[in-house]
Amino acid sequence: MPDVGEGLTEAEILKWYVQPGDTVTDGQVVIEVETAKAAVELPIPFDGTVHALHFPEGTTVDVGQVIISVNVGGGDAPAVEAPVAEAAPVVAAPAAPVAEEEEPKGRQPVLVGYGVAASSTKRRQRKTSSTVTAAPEAPAVVSVPEQLNGHGPAAARPLAKPPVRKLAKDLGVDLATVTPTGPDGIITREDVHAAAAPAPAPVVEAPAPVAAPAQVPVPVQAPAPAATAEVSSEARETRIPIKGVRKATAAAMVGSAFTAPHVTEFVTFDITRTMKLVEELKSDKDMAGLRVNPLLLIAKAVLVAVKRNPDINAAWDEAAQEIVLKRYVNLGIAAATPRGLIVPNIKDAHAQALPELSKSLSELVATAREGKTTPAAMQGGTFTITNVGVFGVDTGTPILNPGEAAILAVGAIKLQPWVHKGKVKPRQVTTLALSFDHRLVDGELGSKFLADIAAILEQPKRLITWA
């Protein structure tokens, strides 16, 4: 499993495109995985025949673990399929693979984490060598040392990776009391979460689930019960594993909320003239074929306001104890997707004219909806817009995207009574909310920046005079 992002430590296998016995070529896409940032298709770096898939779809695998082996020696792959289950990487061997035992494939979800194995695992037979064994017709895989101390699972000190030890310490779990389910008796994150989870109440036992929960929460409907039948407990609760984008978003939001001191300010104003300009631009020949909507002009107003208040476009470097002022704007747009909230950004949005910005916005939204946003597209953002108004919400208090100084929430645009030229008239009105990091942005800067955005949208001619 390669590191497909910047510093990612694990990825979930969404789909295998090949099976044992299939012929593959260098560069062929063989798997789709979901990292904490996005779904990514991965190519195979070998020519040969697939020997085995070492993990099933739905499994979360650490970066660096072997997920597929390919026979690159020119011989045919074995006709039988190797068990697809969570196991240690296979040691390269001559011609025939090492005998393996079947492992349970299902995983029982728990309250936190990904779930634990349904029962104790039977591990495959392994060679004791800790080096790569080269053979003409061996699968293209690499072996790993049995243990750092040279002993097996019976070593006195519980075996666990440093991140798992830290997790156990944070949750108050004694590793000596944890039953390991990982390869060679290594304690995994799931084992720690299972040990930390409270014991279930003695209620009527529900049948074991026959499939992993869906990726997106879906209301579960119980079948119509017979006159004497009781309602199944499965119809009352649905448990969704916390992983992928949802897990990463949760961690980032908690980190942001408890690291940066948030301040949120609001402004309600008349956006009628901007709405009229939107309609005019839709028929403008220079914007032909491009998507024109209020968000486009709000984004442009933000870019002009950043130019007038450049210190808002900054980051707090805790390690260096420095404020980093950025003279470019990578404009993030929060997007709700089936896999969770993501924030791709438009690189160097400050340098784009309105038609180019419209095209960039359209591409960003379309890619996000298709679930094809790349990790690179979500890196390096400097300022974020979240449009909660599309859900009919008036406003909100958004949490900062980590590494940024401010985020703007756009509320619903509604026809309301408003005093215009001394008379109460129906006008298009909206509310903007700006959350900012009070370590870098004081009340004066935040207020001026928010007021500038509102002023531009009240009188959109300022897009020209202030640009």
Residue 40 lies in a domain: no
Residue 86 lies in a domain: no
For residue 182, the model assigns a pLDDT of: 83
φ/ψ of 24, rounded to 5, equals -125, 155
Write out the catalytic residue numbers: 438
Q: Which of 139, 300, 109, 112 is nearest to 209 (CA)?
A: 109
What mean pLDDT value characterizes the chain? 78
Three-class secondary structure assignment of the chain? CCCCCCCCCEEEEEEECCCCCCEECCCCEEEEEECCCCEEEEECCCCEEEEEECCCCCCEEECCCCCEEEECCCCCCCCCCCCCCCCCCCCCCCCCCCCCCCCCCCEECCCCCCCEECCCCCCCCCCCCCCCCCCCCCECCCCCCCCCCCCCCCCCCCCECHHHHHHHHHHCCCHHHCCCCCHHHCECHHHHHHHHCCCCCCCCCCCCCCCCCCCCCCCCCCCCCCCCCCCCHHHCCCCCCCCHHHHHHHHHHHHHHCCCCEEEEEEEEECHHHHHHHHHHHCCHHHCCCCCCHHHHHHHHHHHHHHHCHHHCEEEECCCCEEEECCCCCEEECEEECCEEECCEECCHHHCCHHHHHHHHHHHHHHHHCCCCCHHHHCCCCEEEEEHHHHCCCCCCCCCCCCCCEEEEECCCEEEEEEECCEEEEEEEEEEEEEEECCCCCHHHHHHHHHHHHHHHHCCCHHHHCC
For residue 198, the model assigns a pLDDT of: 57
Say if residue 94's pLDDT is above 60. Answer: no
pLDDT digits (tens, 9 = 90+) for 137-187: 444 443 333 333 333 434 457 888 777 777 777 777 888 888 888 887 888
* CATH code assigned at 449: 3.30.559.10
Residue 384 lies in a domain: yes
Say if residue 115's pLDDT is above 80. Answer: no
pLDDT digits (tens, 9 = 90+) for 381-436: 999 999 999 999 999 999 999 999 999 999 999 999 999 999 999 999 999 999 99
Residue 266 lies in a domain: yes
Lowest mean pLDDT among 226-230, 252-256, 341-345: 226-230
Residue 212 lies in a domain: no
Say if residue 440's pLDDT is above 60. Answer: yes
For residue 137, the model assigns a pLDDT of: 43
- Structural domain boundaries enclosing 273: 245-465
Residue 95 lies in a domain: no
Say if residue 93's pLDDT is above 50. Answer: no
**Number of domains within the chain:** 1
Q: What is the C-alpha R_g of the chain?
A: 27
Which pTM was predicted? 0.57
Residue 355 lies in a domain: yes
For residue 74, the model assigns a pLDDT of: 58
Residue 147 lies in a domain: no
Say if residue 241's pLDDT is above 90. Answer: no
Say if residue 274's pLDDT is above 50. Answer: yes
For residue 223, the model assigns a pLDDT of: 42
Rounded to an integer, what distance in angstroms lies between the CA atom of residue 278 and that of residue 282? 6
